Amino acid sequence: MTEAIRCLTWLTFSSRLLYIEELAQASAIDINNQSEPTDDGLTPLDIFDLMPNLILVEPELPVSTDRQVSSRTHTVTLAHPSVGEFLLSKKPTENLLVERIRFDKQEAQHLIWKSCWTYLYHFNVSGVTLDKRPLLRYAW
């Protein structure tokens, strides 16, 4: 599963609004690999660059040369309810790409549950700060 698909899964099924830095960390978790998630995944600005027409970031991300964003400032949602409806559609199609990105609700919820569990397993330890691991707030 690609990082972009993980992002769309999280945005469609998360139980609350996500901050863009939480989504960046969630997109890096491969639930089929039990090793510690790395920081080599998408950055918050990568997420926006990858899906500018599918997501909405509020307030808008600043344009800066260092590609840093303020923590717990920018929430991200699907740009329109129709994006989620499309991703959940059961309408048959012969387009293999469309079939690959459509979601099954149970599989999506399993992805989020297993991602949270993996994240807690590796990072719910003394000395880990929420600034460094913002997805811990969601995982709890």
pTM score, whole prediction: 0.88
Number of domains in the chain: 1
Rg (CA), the chain: 15
State which residues form the domain around 77: 3-139
Q: What is the mean pLDDT of each run of 10 residues along the chain (140 residues)?
A: 89 96 93 78 91 95 76 95 91 82 90 94 84 90
* Closest by Cα among 18, 36, 27, 31 to 114: 31
Q: What is the pLDDT of residue 1?
A: 54
